[in-house]
Amino acid sequence: MLNLESLEIAVSPTEKFREYLATKGMRLTQERELIVTEVFSSHEHFDADQLVERMAAQKTGRRVSRSTVYRTLGWLEESGLLRKVARTNDRDVYEHDYGYPQHDHFICKSCGELFEFQNSDIAEILEKLAEKINFRMNEHRLEVYGICEDCSRPTQRRHKKLDLI
């Protein structure tokens, strides 16, 4: 996986989320703040169940319910802080959309592994294509599906004792 350096941001994800919630007439509860803090503690792709497990493993003394995690993930996505990257193993996979540069993904259809990459040539090609049809492009998202190196290796077959004679 590509190691993406975070971009310089003026407002923290927590403050950005607080502002978003205020526009909806909601407030940033302690539980929602814990979720935002955990989500933005590292740049890892994750699904909701993985986040629930990570939250449960913490010894903060604060319990965050599964339903609160699911609802908060929806609001984080609506607010533009998170985005769904793919659906692997029947689960939505999320990543940060706030504070990280434009990048694209290779996604293994066998194991669900995501590989991030950046390529300015792709953005340039898309801009030229958009210009050709007078389309104002403001972002792009590219997900390429296939099979990763590990999954494409032939399985190692154990020889039966009779084959060894």
CATH of the domain at 106: 3.30.1490.190
The answer as to whether 117 is a domain residue is: yes
The answer as to whether 5 is a domain residue is: no
Over residues 134-161, the mean pLDDT reads: 84
| Number of domains composing the chain | 1
- Residues in the annotated binding site for Zn(2+): 108, 111, 148, 151
User: pLDDT digits over 49-71, tens only?
Assistant: 999 988 888 766 667 889 999 99
- Residues in the annotated binding site: 104, 108, 111, 140, 148, 151
The answer as to whether 110 is a domain residue is: yes
- Residues in the annotated binding site for Fe cation: 104, 140
The answer as to whether 7 is a domain residue is: no
Model confidence at 93, in pLDDT bands (50, 70, 90)? confident
Average pLDDT, the chain: 85
Domain that holds residue 68: 13-150
DSSP 143: E
The answer as to whether 139 is a domain residue is: yes
Query: What pLDDT score was predicted for residue 85?
Result: 84
Q: Which range, of 9-18, 41-50, 51-60, 103-112, averages the lowest pLDDT?
A: 51-60
